[in-house]
Amino acid sequence: MRPYHGRRILLGVTGGIASYKSAWLARLLVKAGAELDVVLTRSATEFIGAITFEALTGRAPHTSLFGVGHALDHIKLARRAEAIVIAPATADFMARAAHGQADDLLTACLLATEAPVLLVPAMNDRMWAHPQVQRNAIHLREIGYQVLEPDEGMLAAGEGSGPGRMPEPDAIFAHVGRLLESDPALQGRRIVVTAGPTREPVDPVRFLSNRSSGRMGVAIAEAAWRRGASVALIAGPLSVPLPIGLDVTHVETTEEMASAVRDALPTADALVMAAAPADFRAEQPADHKIKKQTRPAQLALTSTPDILSVTRDARRAGAVVVGFALETRDALAAGRSKLVAKGLDMIVVNDATEPGAGFGVETNRVSFVHASGDEEHLELLPKTEVADAILDRVAARLANRG
């Protein structure tokens, strides 16, 4: 799984109750194909056993700075690592790391590595708020480490709720991916992505919509964020989990989505219009729930705004714009027509009737039609891989345009 497969990651675990989450993080990284080395501090072994990580990773964890045959472990581990993540990072560990100490294997690895480092604090909310801990966090960022903000939530038993909770393993996993993969062409770029369906009211309880889950758009937004972009996700009602790290604007109707896209375009380097907005709305939505006994014989429909067309004048010069064409017949011909009519750099075409493609599945088979007239046809792939294929082409265009 990109970008984890075959990458050497060092997971450091320090002595906090949140270390139980680190076992699941290890599982996620290994499942994604990473080669994982685990370093446990002495206090970490008071909370979780080394055998747990050996079972999950297939490698015996490292626990000591000294030992016959292990005198240079800190150098070997530090040089092999392509990324280091410390989860949880206790207040004590952050203090020692901030002051450049090397009194155990994990702090020694930090001083010997040139790999990017991610620290994931976890502690009592009062400890996190202490000025000394905050100064340490600031200093760690100043020397180049990434320090996640802790979550708010339930703390250890009897301590209530507050900021200090270790983020969930899925969130840390995503940040490790961003640590591993930075795309120079997308780094710092503003990418706007739309996802999901829209809903057009028929009455206060019914609406017109479609079967889109939002999975494709969410996959594109996640991949763009992972590759270093600043991502604005404009989402209709989704039936997939929202990704982390994104600026999300929630909309309901096609008109609301069009308005949000227009507002975002003046600062956007690229727009990927992956949403499936409803094409029609009721001409006169009812003010009250339509009863069976009084239902109209016909429902008059009118067209909703075509988002790519009505926002065309808001695009900044040089912005890359990608559209989607989901069809049920003559898909490529329809895609070529939309590409020209809407002034796109590329359109992603797929056939909703093809098995494994379209709505409600984790895979897609797409073709790319470019403004140059060139076409590319991909095999059936997970939508996560389709997302990266789309972004590869967006990145190439942005690099060419400077």
327, β-bridge pairs:
351
Q: 209 by DSSP, 3-state: which?
A: coil
- Report the alpha-carbon angle 190-196-198, nearest 5: 110
Q: Please state whether the peptide bond connecting residue 3 to the residue before it is cis, i.e. omega within 30 degrees of 0.
A: yes
Reported as type and span, the H/E element at residue 98 is: helix 91-98
Query: Are 266 and 251 a contacting pair, CB within 8 Å?
Result: no
367/352 Cα distance (integer angstroms): 13
206, β-bridge pairs:
203
Helices (H), 233-298: 254-264
Task: Find where tokens 């590329």 sit.
Answer: 346
CA distances from 56 to 14, 16, 17, 105, 342 (A): 18, 20, 19, 21, 50
DSSP 8-state assignment for residue 311? T
Q: State the catalytic residue, choosing from 124, 136, 210, 400.
A: 210
CA distances from 117 to 23, 55, 156, 292 (A): 19, 25, 26, 62
The rounded radius of gyration (Å) of the Cα atoms in the chain is: 25
Nearest to 364 by CA among 324, 394, 399: 324
307/309 Cα distance (integer angstroms): 5
Clarify whether 210 is annotated catalytic.
yes
Provide the token pair at 76. 């070997």
- Active-site residues, by number, are 210
